[in-house]
Amino acid sequence: MEACHKFSCVMLVQLNHTGIMANPDCGPAIGPSAVPTRDESVLSKEMTIDEIHDMQRSFLQAAIRAKKAGYDGVQLHGCHGYMINQFVSAKTNHRTDEYGGSVEKRARFCAEIIGMIRKECGDAFIISVRTTGIEPDVTTAIAVAEEYVKAGCDYLQVSTGIEWEDKSVTDCGEHYNKFCSLGVRFHEQFRGRIPVSCVNGINTPEKVKYLIENDLVDTVDLARAVLADPAFCEAVLNGTEYTKCYDCPRCQYGPFTPHKCPAGSGV
């Protein structure tokens, strides 16, 4: 942590539970409701209220450990079909108690975790949620995020979820794709309240600059771009050379490849 903090970097660690998406080797899958798992012939086990509260406490304890380890905050993984997302989606949450039904009730699982972390870790501890931008539409997803903000979320990082029924989500030309557009729309909603980040396909300095300089989002999330070359951020800031990510259908980067992407390096 000290190696990062000495460069004034803020460090968050992601907290996640896969829920109904869990590998069968890890034991029976659990989730908000009994629905098909990775093996569609097998249903997940519906969590009891006590099990929900135990899971929330597990998230809390993980956040407390992160703070003790020196992290500046945590990111709760609330998208991509994992447990928090499963509570949010009506497709996977069929409950009729306080954790199912309305948007507020489906958002409660994560909102309560946020409140618990805030109470135990203090106001200075950053709580981010990597949240779904469509569930099943952008309006509903924003309403879910509003519950997170009310609970004390500091930062929204917008990606994708389980359902995709909003036909208003489209690509925005060469500048950013439809996945990024979700973060842009969230930024319009939460502008001036909390920072919002977008993600997906942001693999050139020009795309980063367009999104930030036009005040379309507050930050961007990067993955393949910095895997292809850790110097990508310097290229954005200083205009220096970098090894480009070519967004290969099958990414050639891996733990046993050179320090930079072999495709972009011409290897």
- Indicate if 155 belongs to the active site: no
Q: Which of 82, 99, 148, 242 is catalytic?
A: 82
Question: Do the Cβ atoms of 12 and 128 come closer than 8 Å?
Answer: yes
For residue 74, give both structure tokens.
């945590």
Active site residues: 82
